[in-house]
Amino acid sequence: MNRHKTSQELFAEALKVLPGGVNSPVRAFRAVDMAPRFIARANGPYIYDVEGRGYIDYVCSWGPMILGHNHPVIREAVERAVKDGLSFGAPTEREVEIAQLMVELVPNIDMVRMVNSGTEAVMSAIRLARGATGRDKIIKFEGCYHGHSDCLLVGAGSSALAGGHPTSAGVPQDVVRHTLTAQFNDLDSVERLLEANRGEVACVIVEPVAANMGVVNPAPGFLSGLRTLCDKYGALLVFDEVITGFRLALGGAQAYFGVRADIVTFGKIIGGGMPVGAYCARRELMEEVAPCGPVYQAGTLSGNPVAMAAGLAQLSWLKSHPEIYSMIEEKALWLAREFRALAENHGVAVSINQIGSLLSPFFTPSSVSTFVDAKGSDVGMYARYFAGMLERGVYLAPAQFEAMFLSAAHTEELLEHTRVAADEVFAAL
C-alpha cells in the first residue's frame, strides 16, 4: 500500500513550488507561527487532515459551508450538473433561476451579475459605482477587507493585516489616491471625507458587519447613518456581503439591519463551496453594465454551470429551511456566553463579539467596537489559544483578525466539546 504523505512532508514540498506553501496567505498559519494541516476531506461539521485526524471546523471554508461540509443536497446537485458538461461559455437556465431566487430573497435588488470570487464581485461593484456616478473617489474603512483588487488594498484587514501589509506593495500610488479611508463605527470620519471631497466620491463601501478585523458589530445607527450621509452627498452605498450575505439572514445584512444599500456584493455562500461571486443592484444601475451599458465587465467561466448548480442547491435549501438562522444564532450566542464565563473563571482578559452565526474572541480586557480596539488584541495569546484548541480537535481561524463561523451541522454535543477544550486552554493561558 502507498504510504500517505504527512502534512509536514507535504508542506515541505509545497514550500518549493507555492509561495509560502499555499494559494492564499492565511492558510500558511504564519500568524500563529505553526505549520498548516493539509486537509484530505471534510464532512458535516468536521474536516480531516491527511493524517486522518478529525477536527470540529469553525472556519467552514471561510463562510460558504453554512450547511456543513459535503451536504448531500449540494453534492448531488453538483454530480448531476457535471454529467452535462463542465463549462459552456453560453447562457443556461440555472443562471436565470439563481438570479431569480437572489432577487426574491435579497431586498432592493432587481438584477444580478455572476462572477467567480468575492474579489471580482467587489472590484466590479466599484467600477459600476464609478461608472454610474462619473466620480473616481471611494471611501472604505480601515481594517475592512474587500478582496485583493488594487484600489481596495489600502488599510485592508484579514491576512493583509495579519501579515503586516494592510496596504499592498505593487499597487501604484496613482491608483490608491482615489481610495479614502474612514474609521468603522465613526460616522464623523466619513462625513469629514465626504465634505472635503464634495461631488467626487462615487461610493462608500462597507462590510456591514466587519469580519476581517475579527468580528466587529456595527454600532446602532452606524449603517443607517452611512445611508443618510450617502444620500446627502450623492454617493452610492455598497454593502460588501461576501461574509454576511445569506448568513446573517436570508436577505443578508440589509434585511438584518433594515438598511438599504445601492449595490450589494456576494461570494462564498452563493457558490455552496464552488468559486462564485456576484454583484447586484436595482435595474437602472445594473443596466450600466455591458452589454447594456458602458461599464465593461466579463468572465469566461462566470455563471459556470457546475458552480450555479451548487449555489442554487444551497440557496434553495436555505430558503426552504429559514429556521436554521435562529438555530445557528442560538448556538453562537451559547458559545459566546460560555467563553465569557470561562474567561472570567480563569482570569483571562477576553472580549467576545458575536452576531448571528459569527463570533470572535479578542484577547483584550476592553470591549471591541473599533479597528483600534481590535488591533489591541494580544495576538500572541490568540496564537496560544489557537494551538491549544487545535490540539484538542477544534479547528479555528489561524489568525486573530478573522471570524469564527458556525454552521447548521454543529451539534450541541460538538459545542460542548468546544467548551471543554476552551476551558482547558483558557486555564493554561
- Residues near ligand PMP (CB under 6 A): 62, 117-119, 122, 145-147, 158, 207, 212, 240, 242-243, 267, 277
> What phi and psi values does residue 219 have, to the nearest 5 degrees?
-65, 150
User: In this complex, which beta carbon is closest to ligand PMP, that of residue 119 or of residue 181?
Assistant: 119
Q: Which is nearer to ligand PMP, 70 or 117 (CB)?
A: 117
Report in angstroms the alpha-carbon separations of 346 from 178, 284, 367, 400, 422. Answer: 48, 56, 18, 20, 11
The distance of Cα 114 from the centroid of its chain, to the nearest Å, equals 17
Of 145, 153, 198, 161, which Cα lies nearest the Cα of 179? 153
- Least Å distance, CB 337 to ligand PMP, is 26
Nearest residue (CB) to ligand PMP, 233 versus 405:
405
* Rounded (5°) CA angle 190-147-12: 140
Give the nearest distance from C-beta 94 to ligand PMP in angstroms: 20
Contact predicate 238/208, CB 8 Å: no
Nearest to 124 by CA among 304, 265, 229, 270: 265
268 catalytic per annotation: yes
Closer Cβ to ligand PMP, 21 or 245, answer by number = 245
What's the closest the beta carbon of residue 317 comes to ligand PMP, in angstroms? Answer: 21
Pairing of strands 137-141, 201-206: parallel
Q: What angle do CA 419, 424, 429 make, to 5 degrees?
A: 115
- The catalytic position among 145, 256, 325, 395 is 145
Decide if 238 contacts 125 (C-beta within 8 A).
yes
CB of 161 to ligand PMP, least distance (A): 12
| DSSP sequence for 262-321 | SEEEE-GGGGBTBS-EEEEE-HHHHTTBTTTSSB----TTTT-HHHHHHHHHHHHHHHH-
Phi, psi values for residue 236, rounded to 5°: -85, 150
Minimum CB distance to ligand PMP smaller for 126 or for 230: 126
375 is catalytic: no
Q: Report the nearest approach of ligand PMP to the CB of residue 158 (Å).
A: 6
Choosing from 49, 57, 240, 262, which is the catalytic residue?
240
Q: State the nearest-atom distance from the C-beta of 301 to ligand PMP, in Å.
A: 14
Q: Which of 268, 279, 325, 385 is catalytic?
A: 268
Q: Which residue has the cell 512532508?
A: 9
Residue 240 annotated in active site: yes
Count of helix runs (H) and strand runs (E) in the chain: 15, 14
Taking CB atoms, the residue at the shortest distance from ligand PMP is: 118
Q: Give the nearer residue to ligand PMP in terms of CB position, either 71 or 268.
A: 268
Residues forming the active site: 145, 240, 268
